[in-house]
Amino acid sequence: MTTFFGGAMLLIGGIVLLASGRYIWRATAVLRATDRETLDDVSPNALVRVAGTVTASDDDVLVAPFSGVDCVALRYQIEERRLSFLYLFPWYVTVYEATAAVPFTVRTETDSVSVDEPVQTVALESHVVETTRATAEPTERIATFERDHEAIPASTRWQHPPGFLAPLARTLSLGTRRYSEQRAAVGADITVVGRVTPDRSGLDPIVVSDGSPIATVGRMAKTSIAGVLIGVVGLLLGYFLLFLT
């Protein structure tokens, strides 16, 4: 039994470590990329970093669901304040999130660079559009969005706790929902990291960001650091059970 459990921990730890490490390696592409203003003299498949202003056609934009801002790349999420066994205080837990993007152009100082493929990662500054307590209703735009998406729970036990827990829930603001967006708005200054397409007509993007390279890597990697730690612990525990007991 110990051998089986140790082997399982080694396998799970290895898988988690590989998956998290792969994502962190992809995040470092932001640092490994070369700054370019144009793709005219760049080899196909080269890893480059292009900074400039977002431009898009009027009929090819996204409308951010909570704020109504026109953008070309977007990540949005709904979080709910809950209690957690991992923390000693209430915490915002993500109950819904999604990413979307459309083709757009980055206008640099010397050229316009097309970004035609779907964006893999949106690592932009997060804007909290609205925070709504459990006892209140969100604005009509957000309420309509929630009604139109079945994956978003209309209500939870944190918003409607048992009667004897209601005073505590109100004191701790449990069930409060926070609506935030990361958006590359039309006219905003952003950085796109990606590989040059085979015909050198544009970029196959890896990440869209509005921060420095170091800040972008931090945004991308922070969610994977916990995975790396879990993977290492799993490997160590599995090794201990298999070879040291």
Three-class DSSP labels, the chain: CHHHHHHHHHHHHHHHHHHHHHHHHHHCHHHHCEECCCCCCCCCCCEEEEEEEEECCCCCCEECCCCCCEEEEEEEEEEEEECCCCCCCCEEEEEEEEEEECCEEEECCCCEEEECCCCCEEECCEEEEEEECCCCCCCHHHHHHHHHCCCCCCCCCCCCCCHHHHHHHHHCCCCCEEEEEEEEECCCEEEEEEEECCCCCEEEEEEEECCCHHHHHHHHHHHHHHHHHHHHHHHHHHHHHHHCC
pLDDT at 244: 62
**Higher confidence at residue 220 or residue 69?**
69
| 31 pLDDT tier (thresholds 50, 70, 90) | confident
Computed from CA positions of residues 218, 221, 227, 231, in that sequence, does the dihedral angle turn out positive or negative? negative
**Higher confidence at residue 118 or residue 178?**
178
| 243 pLDDT tier (thresholds 50, 70, 90) | low
Strand partners, 177: 80, 132
Contact 233, 13 (CB under 8 A): yes
pLDDT at 242: 64
**Higher confidence at residue 223 or residue 213?**
213
**Higher confidence at residue 176 or residue 158?**
176
Residue 172 has pLDDT above 60, yes or no: yes
pTM, whole model, 2 decimals? 0.78
Residue 3 has pLDDT above 80, yes or no: no
Distance CA 203, CA 49 (A): 10
- Mean pLDDT, all residues of the chain: 84
Tokens found for residue 49: 């970093």
Residue 240 has pLDDT above 70, yes or no: no
pLDDT at 234: 64
Q: Which of 50, 53, 74, 77 is nearest to 64 (CA)?
A: 74
Residue 133 has pLDDT above 80, yes or no: yes
- How many other CB atoms sit within 10 Å of the CB of residue 184? 28
pLDDT in tens, 79-107: 999 986 655 678 898 999 999 999 999 99
Residue 164 has pLDDT above 90, yes or no: no
The arithmetic mean of pLDDT across residues 157-174, rounded, is 85
| 245 pLDDT tier (thresholds 50, 70, 90) | low
| 53 pLDDT tier (thresholds 50, 70, 90) | very high
- How many other CB atoms sit within 10 Å of the CB of residue 31? 12
